A and B are shown apart, each in its own frame.
Chain A
Amino acid sequence: MTDAFTSDAPPPRELLRRAGTFIAARLIVFIAKLLTGVRAVWSGTAPVADQTLYFANHSSHGDFVLLWATLPPDLRSLTRPVAGQDYWLASKARRFIGQDVFNALMIRRDGSGDGPNPVDQMVQALQSGDSLIMFPEGTRNTGEEVMLPLKSGLFHIARACPQVRLVPVWIENLKRVLPKGQLIPVPLACSVRYGAPIALAEGEDKAAFLARAQQAMLDLRPEHDKEEASAS
C-alpha cells in the first residue's frame, strides 16, 4: 500500500487495488440506491463542475455515501467527503472504504492540539481544487433534535475560500433507515435535496452567517417534515 505512489508505472498490485476500489464504489452506490431508492432534488442550483463545498445535515455514517451517489458520475471523482479519522481509520475495512474508495479527507474531531487543524486541512484541499462534502454539525445527530448547532468551521472556510460555491444539502429520512443502535436497516425512501448556494456577505459576523447557513439547510426539508417538526 505505502509504495503505491513511489513507482512510475503502476505495479499489478496497484492495478488490482484500483479495480477493487472501482468495483467497491459501484457496489456501495448500488446497495445504497437499492435500499433507499434515493433520488436527488435540485432546487435553486444544478449539478455543475464548478468547485463546490456541499454542507449537509449529519445523522448517519451513510450520509456522504448517499450524497455522493446522487451526484452525476463525472462530479463524483472531483468530490471528496470530509470524514472523522477516529471512525474511518479504525478498521481495515473502514480505511479501505474511506480512504481508497471515497478518497475522504481525514480530519481529527477530538479537538486536541496534535496534528493539523481540520479547518486548515479543508481550506488546503479546496485551494488545491477539490470539491468537498462536509457536515457542519461536526458530529452525527442521533438524538431528537432536527439539527445540532453548527460548528464554526463552515464560517472560517467561507472566509478563506470565497471562490467556492457553498451548496446547502438536506438528506431526508436516512436517520430512520438505520437509527443508532439498530442492526437491520429498514428500506425507507430517501432523498438528497440540494439548495441555492449561499455566500458570506460583506461584514457578516460568524453567528449571523451560521444561522443563515442552518436555515438554508432547514428550508430544504419537505413540507410534511417541517410541519411534523413544529407539531412535536
Chain B
Amino acid sequence: MSPTLHLFAGVAGVLILASAVGALLKWRVAHGAPHAVIDNLNARVNTWWVMVAVIGLAFAFGKGGVIVLFYLISFYALREFMSLTYTRRGDHLAMAAAFYIALPVQYFLVWIEWYGMFAIFIPVEVFLILPILSALGGDTKRFLERTSKVQWGLMVCVFCISHVPALLTLHIPGFEGGNLLLIAFLVIVVQGSDVLQYVWGKLLGRRKVAPELSPSKTWEGLVGGVASATLLGAALWWATPFTPWQAALMAFMICVMGFFGGLVMSAIKRDRGVKDWGTMIEGHGGMLDRLDSVIFAAPIYFHALRYWWVP
C-alpha cells in the first residue's frame, strides 16, 4: 500500500472513531434529544467525511484535480470575503478583475509551474492594477480602505491558498512523485491542530488567550493542541521527505502559523460584526472559517520546503 493510501486509511480510522464517539454521546449523554454541543460535534464529523472524500477525489485526479479543487475553494473563500467587505460602485471593475482575471491566472500559473510569476503576480501586478481600476471609478470616498480590502481579500483567499496546490510543483530530490503527501501532511497537521485545540479546550480550557477576538480559544487548548499536533506531525515523518525531528519542527511551525491565522481572521470577523464567514459548510460556518489556519500556514510551509529541500 502506498503512503498516500496509508494516510487516508488512518484518517478514515480516526473519523470512524469520531463518528462512533459522536453516536455514543448522542445516545448516552443527550438520550437522542437535541443537544447543541453534541449535535454541532456530529455535524462537524459528518462534514469531515465529506471533506476527506472530496480531497481524496481530487488526489485521484492528480495535479489537475488538486488545482481545480483549490481553485473552487479560493473562489468560495473570495466570495465570502468580498460579500462581507465594504465596497462602492466604483470598485465594481476591480472586483470583477479579482474574480475573473486574478483568480484564474494565479491557478494557471500553478498549472504551468511558472514560479517567478506565481510569486509576484498578485502581490505586485494585481496590487497595482486594482487601485487603477478603482480610481477609474472616480469615487474617492474611503478609497484607501476600499482598495486595501479588495487586495487583502485576494492575498488571503487566492494568493495564500494557491500555495497548497503549488506544493505539487516543488521538485525534491529523492521524493519524486510523492508531492501529494506534502499536501496531505499540511492538511492533516493544520486541521489536526484545529481539532485537537478544540478538544483540549473543551476538556481543560480555563484561561482565554484573546477574549476580545475569539472566546473559544484558551491557553490550555492552544498548548495541548499545538503539542499534540506537533507529535502527530512527527509521527507522520515516514510519509514526508523529513526526518522525525524535521517533521516535528515543520508541524510546530504550521500549528503556530495556523493558530495566529485563526486569530487574525477572527479579528476581521469581529470588526465586521459577524460570527462566521458564511454558511456553506454544515457545523463549521463558511469556507474561510475552516481554512483560516491553512491560509497562514501554507505559504510559510511552501517557502520553508522550497528553501531547504529544493536544490
Interface residues of A (CB under 8 A from B): 37, 39, 173, 176, 179-180, 182, 184, 186-190, 222-224, 227-228, 232
Q: Show the binding face of B for A, using Cβ within 8 Å.
A: 75, 79-80, 82-84, 86-87, 89, 92-93, 95-96, 99-100, 141-142, 272-274, 278-280
Query: Which residue in B86, B89, B142 is a CB contact (below 8 Å) of A179?
Result: B89
A188 touches B274 (CB 8 A): no
Q: Are B92 and A188 in contact (CB under 8 A)?
A: no
Complex-state Cα separation, A223 to B270, whole angstroms: 12
Which of A37, A173, A223, A227 is most buried by chain B, counting CB atoms within 10 A of its CB? A37
The contact of A188 among B83, B86, B141, B273, by CB within 8 Å, is: B83
- Contact at B96–A186, with CB atoms within 8 Å? yes
B79 touches A189 (CB 8 A): yes
Interface centre among B86, B89, B278, B280 (most CB of A within 10 A): B89
Task: Decide if A37 touches B92 in the complex (CB within 8 Å).
Answer: no
Give chain B residues whose Cβ lies under 8 Å from the Cβ of A223: 273-274
On chain A, the residues within 8 Å of B92 by CB distance are 176, 179, 182, 184, 186
Contacts of B79 in A (CB 8 A): 37, 187-189
* One of A184, A188, A224, A232 near B82 (C-beta < 8 A): A188
7 further A-B pairs in the complex, CB-CB below 8 A; given A182-B93, A189-B278: A173-B83, A179-B92, A184-B96, A186-B82, A187-B75, A189-B80, A232-B142
Query: Which residues of chain B come closer than 8 Å to A184, judged between CB atoms?
Result: 92, 96, 100
A residues within 8 A CB of B96?
A: 184, 186
Q: How far is the CB of A178 from chain B (nearest CB, A)?
A: 8
- Give CA–CA (A179, B87) in the complex, Å: 12
Q: Which residues of A contact B142 (CB under 8 A)?
A: 232
Distance, CA A189 to CA B272, complexed state (A): 16
Contact of A37 among B99, B100, B280 (CB under 8 A): B280
Give the distance in Å from the alpha carbon of A224 to the alpha carbon of B87 in the complex.
Answer: 13
Q: How far is the CA of A188 from the CA of B84 in the complex (A)?
A: 9
Given contacts A37-B79, A37-B280, A189-B79, contact A224 B95 (CB under 8 A): no
